[in-house]
Amino acid sequence: MSSERPSVELCKGIYGLDKVVLREIRGTSAEVYLYGGQVTSWKNDHGEELLFLSSKAVFKPPKAIRGGIPICFPQFGSHGTLEQHGFARNKLWSIDTDPPPFPTNSSSKAFIDLILKSSDEDFKLWPHSYEFRLRVALGPGGDLMLTSRIRNTNTDGKPFTFTFAYHTYFLVSDISEVRVEGLETLDYLDNLRERERFTEQGDAITFEGEVDKVYVSTPTKIAILDHEKKRTFVLRKDGLPDAVVWNPWDRKAKAIPDLGDDDYKHMLCVEAAAVEKPITLKPGEEWRGRQELSAVPSSYCSGQLDPQKVLHGS
Ligand code: BG6
Atom of ligand 1 nearest to the CA of 214: 6
Q: What is the pLDDT of residue 281?
A: 98
Atom of ligand 1 nearest to the CA of 248: 10
Which one of the listed residues 31, 181, 271, 292 is annotated catalytic?
271
Cβ neighbors of 245 (< 8 A, separation 6 or more) are: 180, 183, 205, 211, 212, 213, 215, 268, 269, 270, 271
Tell me how far the alpha carbon of residue 269 lies from the centroid of ligand 1, in angstroms: 9
Clarify whether 285 is annotated catalytic.
no
**Three-point CA angle 188, 194, 197, nearest 5°:** 25
pTM assigned to the model: 0.94
Angstrom distance (rounded) from CA 62 to CA 5:
36
Tell me how crowded residue 24 is: count the other CB atoms within 10 A of its CB: 24
Query: Coil, strand, or helix at residue 177?
Result: helix
Tell me how far the alpha carbon of residue 164 lies from the centroid of ligand 1, in angstroms: 13
Tell me how far the alpha carbon of residue 76 lies from the centroid of ligand 1, in angstroms: 9
Angstrom distance (rounded) from CA 70 to CA 214:
17
Task: Kindly report the protein residue whose alpha carbon is nearest to atom 7 of ligand 1.
Answer: 77
**Which pLDDT tens digit goes with each residue over 165-210?**
999 999 999 999 999 999 999 999 999 999 999 999 878 899 999 9
Determine what percent of the chain is predicted with pLDDT higher than 90.
86
Tell me how far the alpha carbon of residue 13 lies from the centroid of ligand 1, in angstroms: 25
Contacts 24+ apart (CB under 8 A), 280-285: 280/159, 280/160, 280/161, 281/150, 281/151, 281/152, 281/159, 281/160, 281/161, 281/162, 282/152, 282/159, 283/152, 283/153, 283/154, 283/155, 283/157, 283/158, 283/159, 284/151, 284/152, 284/153, 285/151, 285/152
Which one of the listed residues 167, 181, 276, 292 is annotated catalytic?
167
**Which pLDDT tens digit goes with each residue over 210-228?**
999 999 999 999 999 999 9
**Which pLDDT tens digit goes with each residue over 150-168?**
999 999 999 999 999 999 9
Q: What is the pLDDT of residue 314?
A: 41
Task: Kindly report the protein residue whose alpha carbon is nearest to atom 9 of ligand 1.
Answer: 246
Atom of ligand 1 nearest to the CA of 212: 6
In terms of Cα–Cα distance, which of 83, 66, 80 is closest to 121?
83
The answer on pLDDT for 38 being more than 70 is: yes
Atom of ligand 1 nearest to the CA of 256: 16
**Which pLDDT tens digit goes with each residue over 218-254?**
999 999 999 999 999 999 999 999 999 999 999 999 9
Tell me how far the alpha carbon of residue 154 lies from the centroid of ligand 1, in angstroms: 29
Task: Kindly report the protein residue whose alpha carbon is nearest to atom 16 of ligand 1.
Answer: 256
The answer on pLDDT for 309 being more than 80 is: no
Determine what percent of the chain is predicted with pLDDT higher than 70.
93
Q: Using a 6 Å CB cutoff, which residues line ligand 1?
A: 77, 84-85, 167, 191, 212, 244, 246, 269, 271
The answer on pLDDT for 104 being more than 80 is: no
Clarify whether 184 is annotated catalytic.
no
Query: With the CA atoms of 116, 212, 58 and 61 taken in that order, what torsion angle do they form, in degrees rounded to the nearest 10?
Result: -30
**Which pLDDT tens digit goes with each residue over 135-150?**
999 999 999 999 999 9
Q: What is the pLDDT of residue 266?
A: 98
Please compute the mean of the pLDDT values over residues 106-128 and round it to a whole number.
Answer: 92
